[in-house]
Amino acid sequence: MHYLDHAATTAVLPEAARIACRVMTEQFGNPSSVHKMGIEASGILETARREVAALMNAEPSEITFTSCGTEATNLALSGACRRKGRGRHIITTAIEHAATLNTVRRLEQEGFEVTYLQPDSSGHISVDDLRAAIRPDTALFTCMLANNEVGTQLPVREFGAVLKKRAPEALFHVDAVQGLARIPIKPKLWHADFISVSGHKIGAPKGVGALYIRKGVHIAPLLFGGGQERGLRPGTEGLPGIAAFGEACRLRREQMQENYSKVEQLCALFRAGVEARFPWAVYNGMSDIPHVVNLSFPGCKSEVLLRVLEMRNVYVSSGSACARGKASHVLAAMKLEHARIDSALRVSFAPSNTQKDVEALLDALEEGTKRLRRA
Ligand code: PLP
């Protein structure tokens, strides 16, 4: 199998799976129980929190565990905006993940006014556009660190500086789901109040995420219950997933540079192969991180090409996995023509990929594009 769809999800790291299994079968206490097993479980929870915090350059007390990146973003945006006394204006970008866009749309229905910053044709968002959009009643600006479809990196440091200068009361949320363990997370440098991350993009199981909440920032919870996670995310903690997430963060932190170089080399190899074998292919957006590359093979519908690749055990994606066949809103916002959007493939690498995976992908693309261009 040649899996090159790591922006959709990743395999669980064996070390993380081992810990999850141990927590499910042996150390299965409830962190809220006061007996020995509960205390042991609480220790596992706090160890994981320290590891996530370390990878995010944050304090453990600033990390709240959630069920996924989507929940972390919902908690940040809804929690921040529903607080009394805040302005009614939100700024975001047109290239956000559905987790952000649909939460913001919901807030729009509740009476918030939203400004959507538009990307240029390379998928970048300008700092000047943010500056121009800020108003005295801006309550929140939310944007991603790295785009999941085209791999652009947004200038969050500059965004944070401009936001806090023009609207010091406004809160800043960064969706770092695709950036974690790839790009260093710098909450203070970015002036970030909230940062969402997700376990399954970095080798932890699905069903665990986290939200960084800057010390001193208070938000309203989405759920009500037993007071876990300082009342912000009540419900018995999903400890197997959380423990595995902590372990994945520890490993990713130790190997971050080495992993980045590996992915960079794989991406360069792929690009060289594309140049040599498909000089007619066009790249969509400028992928600033080597983990995500988006390109179109004109004349080859991506849904069909995907099936041909799949028959050769090669797995990539046609845009974002969450969009499930819908035309990409990111490529549409970049104003690419329909035929290009219709033939766009997203290839996303992980350090576990090898040269063989890249070669298999190039061979499968050769077969697929020949077949489809002839048809
Ligand atoms: N934000 C981005 C940029 C993503 O790529 C994703 C998942 O694809 C999410 C948020 C949602 O994360 P989760 O799948 O953990 O809910």
Each residue's pLDDT, cut to its tens digit, for the chain (375 residues) gives 999 999 999 999 999 999 999 999 999 999 999 999 999 999 999 999 999 999 999 999 999 999 999 999 999 999 999 877 889 999 999 999 999 999 999 999 999 999 999 999 999 999 999 999 999 999 999 999 999 999 999 999 999 999 999 999 999 999 999 999 999 999 999 999 999 999 999 999 999 999 999 999 999 999 999 999 999 999 999 999 999 999 999 999 999 999 999 999 999 999 999 999 999 999 999 889 999 999 999 999 999 999 999 999 999 998 645 556 678 999 999 999 999 999 999 999 999 999 999 999 999 999 999 999 877
Answer for the pair 92, 143: CB distance below 8 angstroms, yes or no.
yes
| 144 Cα nearest atom in ligand 1 | 3
* Cα 374 to Cα 372: distance, rounded to the nearest angstrom: 5
β-bridge mates for residue 63, sequence order? 212
With the most atoms of ligand 1 within 8 angstroms of its CB, the residue from 77, 92, 93, 201 to mutate is 201
β-bridge mates for residue 174, sequence order? 143, 195
Answer for the pair 97, 105: CB distance below 8 angstroms, yes or no.
no
Please work out whether the CB of residue 292 comes within 6 Å of at least one atom of ligand 1.
Answer: no
Please work out whether the CB of residue 198 comes within 6 Å of at least one atom of ligand 1.
Answer: yes
Please work out whether the CB of residue 144 comes within 6 Å of at least one atom of ligand 1.
Answer: yes
| 322 Cα nearest atom in ligand 1 | 8
Long-range contacts of range 308-312, CB-CB < 8 Å, 24 or more positions apart?
Answer: 308/364, 308/367, 308/368, 308/371, 308/372, 309/361, 309/364, 309/365, 309/368, 312/2, 312/360, 312/363, 312/364, 312/367
With the most atoms of ligand 1 within 8 angstroms of its CB, the residue from 125, 174, 177, 197 to mutate is 177
Please work out whether the CB of residue 182 comes within 6 Å of at least one atom of ligand 1.
Answer: no
Q: Which residues participate in catalysis according to the annotation?
A: 322
- Report pTM: 0.97
Which pair of tokens denotes residue 67? 């069920």
Give me the half-sphere count of Cα atoms (radius 13 Å) on the Cβ side of residue 81.
Answer: 28
